[in-house]
Amino acid sequence: MKQILSIQSSVTLGFVGNSVAAPVLTAMGHHPLAVDTIALAAHPGYGTRSGGVLATEDFTKILQALAHFNALSGVDFVITGYLGTAGQAAPIKDTLNAWRRQVDNGIYVLDPVLGDADSLYVKPQIAATLQAELLPLADIITPNRFELGFLADCEIADLDAAIDAGQKLLTTHPKLGAVIATGISREADMAGGIGDLLIAENDAPLWLPASDDGPISPKNIPGGGDLLTAIMTGNLANGMDLVEAAGNASQMAHRIIANSTGTRDLALMEQLHLLDQKSPAS
């Protein structure tokens, strides 16, 4: 069992952010330490926003308390996702630096939750601060197609463009070891289907199609990227190498999404048994 610090959004209804990461990581045999950046009744797909961002002072005190209680020394992985304000980046950065001083081989996974469908859905200041303060500290990032293009400052029309963008980020951020990009079109006209892409230093790019049975256009359900990030991190914590961890996470995330009815929420709780590596998947 590994301890995994997860700093993301949280919702009461549905499954995004920590509301995905906590049950997934627990089902995979790990101990999630969840810190919420924002707490909402439900994700924006429900049509009404109810709840809000944790005050920066309180958010900072929670993270500082982890160091005060000497909890960081037991953390093996850190995941960060949606930020409620740009001001949350600084205490996260301080926490990561304090953690690095105590844990030599820890892995920081940055899910740069910035936007989708060719536009930002966070304030530009949040996007700029995440790019300046957190991206340089990340070992692995898990952007969607839009976020990959935003971070690399280029258009992502097809698989080749996504590979170029991922390799650019590896070159410009020396600490970054891998990019796992989701929702990538193999061809510009989507004729080759949709899938995920692993770009890692010293390895050839690995295309992970959403289905081995032929080109499909998988459903876009809120929390799908959070799901892949959590499964991939759990796989690494269970001892898989990066290629195996990413490949399994892509396969399992697409399976759970495909088995979910509609497009509003993941059918996560009904399928957590698929992630329990102690029992056979059905």
* Percent of all residues in the chain with a pLDDT value above 70, rounded to a whole number: 94
Q: What is residue 134's predicted lDDT score, i.e. its pLDDT?
A: 98
User: Range with the lowest mean pLDDT among 29-33, 71-75, 181-185, 259-263?
Assistant: 259-263
Residue 223 sits at the vertex; the CA angle it makes with 186 and 169, to the nearest 5 degrees, is: 50
Confidence of residue 216 (pLDDT cuts 50, 70, 90): very low
Residue carrying structure tokens 């709840």? 51
**Mean per-residue pLDDT of the chain:** 92
Asked whether 210 and 3 are in contact (CB, 8 A), the reply is no
Check if CATH label 3.40.50.300 holds for domain 3-270. no
Single-letter code of the amino acid located at 160: D
Confidence of residue 5 (pLDDT cuts 50, 70, 90): very high
User: Across the strands, what pairs with 208?
Assistant: 196
Question: Distance between CA atoms of 110 and 140, rounded to whole angstroms?
Answer: 6
Confidence of residue 282 (pLDDT cuts 50, 70, 90): very low
DSSP-derived 3-state class of residue 210? coil
Question: Distance between CA atoms of 240 and 248, rounded to whole angstroms?
Answer: 10
Give the residue among 21, 16, 20 at the shortest CA–CA distance from 5: 21
DSSP-derived 3-state class of residue 255? helix
- Give the helix ranges, DSSP H, for 194-272: 224-237, 242-258
The backbone torsions φ and ψ at residue 48, rounded to the nearest 5 degrees and listed phi first, read -140, 135
Q: What are the start-end ranges of the E strands in 131-235?
A: 140-141, 178-185, 194-200, 206-209
Question: Distance between CA atoms of 187 and 40, rounded to whole angstroms?
Answer: 37
For the chain, the C-alpha Rg in angstroms (whole number) is 17
User: Average pLDDT in the 81-85 region?
Assistant: 96
Question: Distance between CA atoms of 267 and 31, rounded to whole angstroms?
Answer: 22
Confidence of residue 280 (pLDDT cuts 50, 70, 90): very low
Confidence of residue 217 (pLDDT cuts 50, 70, 90): very low
Token pair listed for 100: 């690095």
Confidence of residue 219 (pLDDT cuts 50, 70, 90): confident
For the stretch 152-207, pLDDT in tens is: 999 999 999 999 999 999 999 999 999 999 999 988 766 668 899 999 988 899 99
Q: Is the pLDDT of residue 213 over 80?
A: no
Between helix 56-68 and helix 89-102 the angle, nearest 10°, is: 10
Asked whether 82 and 94 are in contact (CB, 8 A), the reply is no
Question: Distance between CA atoms of 177 and 170, rounded to whole angstroms?
Answer: 7
* Number of CB atoms found within 10 A of residue 196's CB: 27
Single-letter code of the amino acid located at 123: K
DSSP-derived 3-state class of residue 225? helix
